Structure formats: structure tokens, C-alpha cells
Amino acid sequence: MGDVVVTEFISLDGVIEDPGGSEGSVLGAWSFQFNRGEDGDRFKLDELASAEAQLLGRITYDGFAASWPKMRDTTGEFGVKMNDMPKYVVSTTLSDAEASWENSTVIRDDVPGSVARLKQQVKGDILIAGSATLARSLLTEGLVDRVNLMLFPVVLGTGKRLFAEALPRAMFELTEMKPVGPDGVVVLTYQAKR
């Protein structure tokens, strides 16, 4: 059975919006102001290597689909894995995900049920990067098994937050805390307590 893993680049004030700049927001590319070092890069590679599938919201999916196919051959094993692994996008408006990015499938209805079935089908992790609305809905449903946060030492003041108001109470256990790179970036890993 697979684990649903929410992975986020997050600011000190909890903002996860547009860390890479693909959404074109005024906050865009804020994470690129920091050096996460070799340890940070290794963490992201190991995280992706342990995943069997990606589950994405429509906005994150569109940004990834516009970028990653072009980077297949320029980002080594990371780019190959990003493009080759199965991807599931939650959307009620996208008709043909495969046309945008290879190995992509649309989930339109019964998202919690679809995710629960996907967890039963896969052996590795199901990685949710970005996708604030999707991540919050799966946290609400109790379907998130682990949260990986790469915490950047910046206060952005505005933007989408992972832990917005109205989320139900949930308990997590800190299983890893590791500073990475020279700029004060920290990786925090939390396991859901059930």
C-alpha cells in the first residue's frame, strides 16, 4: 500500500504559493533566492525516487507540464523520473492530460475515493507537490500519511498557505529535521499519527 506524501517548499509564515515561478504570481520564484545545497538536492532526488506516482492539482500540473517535458534531458535522473512516472491530475475541466504531459491521467470525480483506491494500487509513495487546494482537501479527509516541508527562512506576508483555517485537527510526529545548504533552509518530515 502506498503513502500519500505532501511535499512543499514553505516560507516561515506558511506560504507555499509559486516557489518556482511557474504560476506567474507576484511572489514567483521566491525559493530560488536560497541555496539548499547538495543535501537539499539529494533530499528532493531521494523523495522522488521513492515515489511511484504523482498526484497534482490543476495549477501545479499545468506549471509542471509546461516545464518538465523540456527538461527531460537536462536534469539527469530527476528529469527522467518526473516525466516517466504516472501522474494523476485532479481537474473537472481538463479533458486530455496525456496531451499535455506523458503518463498523465485525469481524476474528475470522488477524489477521496480515487486517492484511497490509488493508495491500494501502488507500493511506493504518491507524491503531492504544491497543489495547495488538493493537499488541504486530502488533509481534511485524513488521507495524508506524511508531510515533507522544505522550510525557507523568509516571511512572504501573503500567498496561499498549506495550513489554512478550517482544517480539522490532525496530529503528526516529527521524524526528521535536517538543515540543508548554507542559507538556513531546513527539511522537516512529519508522519501522520493515527
**CA 171, CA 55: separation in Å to the nearest integer?**
23
**CA 49, CA 34: separation in Å to the nearest integer?**
23
pLDDT value of position 34: 97
pLDDT in tens, 37-63: 999 999 999 999 999 999 999 999 998
pLDDT value of position 151: 98
Looking at the whole model, is its pTM more than 0.75?
yes
Place 75 in a pLDDT band, splitting at 50, 70 and 90. Answer: confident
Higher pLDDT, 163 or 176: 176
CATH code of domain 4-192: 3.40.430.10
Block residue for cell numbers 497543489: 131
pLDDT value of position 152: 98
pLDDT of 99 above 80: no
**In the 8-state DSSP scheme, what is residue 193?**
P
**Domain residues of the chain, as ranges?**
4-192
**CA 2, CA 159: separation in Å to the nearest integer?**
31
Place 194 in a pLDDT band, splitting at 50, 70 and 90. Answer: confident
Longest dimension (CA), the chain: 44
